[in-house]
Every structure is written in structure tokens, then in C-alpha cells.
């Protein structure tokens, strides 16, 4: 197997393993949104009364049971000590018939997200008057859950892409391995040129030398 083929197969294997890892991590992160439960993640629940804001987040989302009509729910909030405050409750828009909030399709099962309280200060007590029982959930928690969910989607998408690339590269490496047949040993053949001797010419030359020698001896005598 050639070095190029080995490198190609190695790269394909790395892409494949990376894709599997990303897909697994993405799937684990995506399950986080299913773990969200209003009852477990709320910071306060009740009806009219005193609410002490103990978390650093200055916004909480208000959830009520899905048997409460959107157009019938109301809430008022103010500082218990009467001091100046920018705290306020903002009600979500209702559907045309007034029964549900507009974004009800994204709400947890059994709950409606009715609105949000903003401008809360940590350690301050607030006087709340509301028409129905509610649960307050930190906005930061919801944002974190959804960021993890969308990050998981991108992670899964990237993992699938890496797996596809890895498979393609491995196929290319396999084709290279089959077609190249590996490194073949080269055989060097040395050809020695043959010299053909013309014996007839050699005899003629030798005879000429003898005749010349004989002529020279006769002339000198």
C-alpha cells in the first residue's frame, strides 16, 4: 500500500470518528430541553402575596396552568417597601379568541407562558396581586436551555457532515488501494552488450602483416 493511500485512509478514519463524537455529544445536549419542568425549575410559586427575589437574574417568566384563559389573567407587582422601582409585569398577546397566549405551541405541556416580570432586584421583596396561581422561572435558565438545544442541532449536523466526509474519503482510499496494488518491487535487469568478432578479417590482417614482413626482409637483403 502506497504512502498516499495510507494517508487518505487515515484522514477518512479521523473524520469518521470525529463525526461520531460530535453526533453523540449533540444528542446528549439536545435532551436538555426535555428535562425542563416548570415545577422543578421555578424560583417561586403561589398566588397573591409577598415574593422575595433571591436570584441575580432580573427577569422571570410567568407560567400558569393551561386551564387559565389568557384574557382573564392579570398581575400587579410593586416593591413592598414602597421605594422607587422599575419592576413591571408585561402580559403576552392573546389569540383572537382570547383563550391562549399567541406562543402557546412552544409552551411546556400543561402550562401557558403568560408574560414576564422585569426590573427585579436581588434581595428585594415585592407585593404581588394576581388573578390566578402562577410559577416564576428564571429567564436565564430558559435561554441557557434553548442555546444548548440549538447548539446540539448544529453539533449533530456537523457530526453527520463529518461522518459523510469520512466515508467518502475512506471509499477513495479503498479505491486507491485496489487500483495501485501496493508498492511493487522494481527489478533491475542489466544487459551486457555482446561483441561479435569477425575471425575472417582478423586472419586477413594477420596475413597482410606476414606478407609485409616478408617483402621487407627480401628488399633489405
pLDDT in tens, 98-127: 999 998 988 888 999 999 999 999 999 999
Residue 173 included in any domain: yes
What does the pLDDT read at residue 73? 96
Q: Distances from the Cα of 98 to the Cαs of 90, 106, 139, in angstroms? A: 16, 17, 25
Average pLDDT over residues 65-90: 91
Residue 190 included in any domain: no
Which three three-digit cell numbers place residue 73?
389573567
What does the pLDDT read at residue 190? 57
Q: Greater confidence, 158 or 11?
A: 11
Residue 38 included in any domain: no
In whole angstroms, what is the distance from residue 59 CA to residue 95 CA? 24
Q: What is the pLDDT of residues 133-164, one digit of tens each?
A: 999 999 888 777 665 544 445 555 555 666 67
Residues 61 and 123 in one domain: yes
Residues 52 and 118 in one domain: yes
Residues 64 and 128 in one domain: yes
Q: What is the mean pLDDT of the chain?
A: 74
Residue 198 included in any domain: no
Confidence bin at 52 (pLDDT 50/70/90): very high
Number of compact structural domains in the chain: 2
Residue 200 included in any domain: no
Q: Greater confidence, 105 or 9?
A: 105
Instruction: Judge whether 131 and 71 are in contact, CB under 8 Å.
Output: no
What does the pLDDT read at residue 179? 73
Residues 56 and 103 in one domain: yes
Confidence bin at 68 (pLDDT 50/70/90): very high
Residue 186 included in any domain: no
Residue 43 included in any domain: no
Instruction: Count CB atoms within 10 A of the CB of residue 11.
Output: 16
Residues 125 and 168 in one domain: no
Residues 56 and 128 in one domain: yes
Residue in this structure with the C-alpha cell 575471425, named with its chain if needed: 199
Can you give the residue range of the structural domain that contains 105?
Answer: 48-132
Residues 112 and 167 in one domain: no
What does the pLDDT read at residue 185? 53
Amino acid at each position: 500500500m502506497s504512502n498516499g493511500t495510507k494517508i487518505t485512509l487515515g484522514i477518512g478514519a479521523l473524520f469518521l470518528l470525529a463525526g461520531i463524537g460530535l453526533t453523540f455529544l449533540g444528542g446528549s445536549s439536545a435532551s436538555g430541553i426535555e428535562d425542563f419542568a416548570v415545577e422543578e425549575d421555578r424560583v417561586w410559586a403561589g398566588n397573591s402575596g409577598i415574593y422575595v427575589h433571591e436570584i441575580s437574574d432580573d427577569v422571570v417568566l410567568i407560567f400558569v396552568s393551561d386551564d387559565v384563559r389568557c384574557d382573564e389573567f392579570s398581575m400587579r407587582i410593586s416593591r413592598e417597601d414602597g421605594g422607587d422601582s422599575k419592576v413591571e409585569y408585561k402580559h403576552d398577546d392573546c389569540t383572537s379568541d382570547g383563550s391562549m397566549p399567541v406562543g402557546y405551541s412552544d409552551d411546556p405541556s400543561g402550562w401557558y407562558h403568560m408574560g414576564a416580570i422585569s426590573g427585579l432586584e436581588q434581595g428585594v421583596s415585592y407585593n404581588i396581586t394576581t388573578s390566578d396561581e402562577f410559577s416564576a422561572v428564571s429567564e436565564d435558565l430558559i435561554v441557557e436551555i434553548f442555546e444548548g438545544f440549538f447548539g446540539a442541532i448544529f453539533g449533530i449536523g456537523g457530526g453527520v457532515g463529518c461522518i459523510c466526509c469520512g466515508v467518502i474519503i475512506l471509499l477513495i482510499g479503498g479505491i486507491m488501494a485496489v487500483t495501485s496494488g501496493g508498492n511493487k518491487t522494481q527489478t533491475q535487469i542489466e544487459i551486457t552488450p555482446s561483441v561479435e568478432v569477425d575471425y575472417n578479417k582478423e586472419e586477413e590482417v594477420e596475413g597482410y602483416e606476414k606478407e609485409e614482413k616478408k617483402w621487407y626482409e627480401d628488399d633489405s637483403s
